[in-house]
Amino acid sequence: MKRPVNCLLIDDDADDKEFFLLALKDIEKKVDFHYSCTAKDALEKLESGEYKPDYIFLDMNMRPVDGLECLQSIKGISKVVDVPVIIYSTSINEKLKYQTLESGAFDHFKKPSTVCDLVEYLKRILQLEA
């Protein structure tokens, strides 16, 4: 039996966390879900080696540390430098795409309005896991 896919969502909006969890329930693949509501919390967990996610989903609009700063810090942590970081935000423009790709983002996905759209995206991305 394959091990579960380990995902970390970094997002300061509890409603977005619940939306993400609803989508994961619709996926047949076993997913271990971890959540951080601040960049600081996520960075502490990642630096400590508490766990190593297979994928990180990162919101851009957080305070006091925004998603771009968080992404740059994640890519500076040797234990997780190779983990794909997917920008998962309500607003993604070309400038942001360029900045985040330059900083090491793997992909971008605008937060959808339906759980079904998120399920389809997650199924596609998580199947990259061997």
Residue 1 reports pLDDT greater than 60: no
- What is the average pLDDT across 6-29? 93
CA distance 74 to 114: 29
Domains in the chain with CATH codes? 6-126 (3.40.50.2300)
Q: Which of the four pLDDT bands, split at 50, 70 and 90, describes residue 51? A: confident
Higher pLDDT, 1 or 37: 37
Task: Please state, rounded to an integer, the average pLDDT across all residues of the chain.
Answer: 92
Q: Which of the four pLDDT bands, split at 50, 70 and 90, describes residue 29? A: confident
- What is the average pLDDT across 16-39? 92
DSSP string, 24-84: HHT-SS-EEEEEESSHHHHHHHHHHTS---SEEEE-S--SSS-HHHHHHHHTT-TTTTTS-
pLDDT of 74 reads: 98
Residue 130 reports pLDDT greater than 50: no
Backbone angles phi, psi at 22, to 5 degrees: -60, -45
